A = this chain, B = another copy of it.
Amino acid sequence: MALKIYLAGPEVFLPEARAVIAEKKLLCSRYGFEPMAPGDLVKRDGLDPFTHGMKISAANEGLMMASDAVIANLTPFRGVSADVGTVYELGFMCALGRSVWAFSNEPRDYFDRVRDDFYQGELVPRPTGGMAGPDGLSVENHGMGDNLMLDGGILARGGAFVRRDVPRERLYSDLGGFEECLKLAAAALL
């Protein structure tokens, strides 16, 4: 029986969600894994929005528990960091001791993104060391792709956080990083 990989990522929010997720599933199968895609099982069925949300959450947690590994798309989403739904799932799978890989279609370090995109370059040194925004909030600088809990959790489990530069219009749909994770997963697990 093929090992199951949970496909975490903000692709669910794309206008072309179905096509991109179908492509991910196809790629996943080609590398010898069974794809487990969030939201697959949940119909609206006249439920109120809150109950519907609870049902999707429960379904996704069930899919994760049934999976052997996760590949998380950590491309920044509506801000400087990854989609929080995906990050919840990454933490969830790390705690379960599953194999984890991640990719981002944004190559820069978290520090550089926060400095340039969020604070427009206006960082100031902190009295206790390191740098902060004009709002006083410190900006961590560990040479990592996102908050250290994300990079740390992935790397501590033998996974990898693949970062690539892609054309802006393919920020959420480019699957080169995803395929690189599949190759790593195949080399590690098959």
Residues on A facing B (Cβ under 8 Å):
10, 12-15, 17, 49-50, 52-54, 56-58, 60-61, 64, 78-85, 87-96, 114, 118, 126, 132, 136-144, 146-153, 155-156, 172
Contacts and interface: CB of A to CB of B under 8 A. Distances in A.
A58 B142 contact: no
A83 B146 CA distance: 11
B150 A85 contact: yes
Contacts of A85: 147-150
Contacts of A84: 81-82, 84, 87, 146-147, 149-150
A54 B156 contact: yes
A13 to B, nearest CB: 5
A125 to B, nearest CB: 12
B13 A56 contact: no
A136 B10 CA distance: 13
Given A50-B144, A54-B155, 13 more contacts: A15-B137, A53-B144, A54-B156, A57-B152, A78-B137, A79-B81, A82-B84, A85-B149, A88-B147, A91-B91, A92-B92, A93-B95, A95-B95
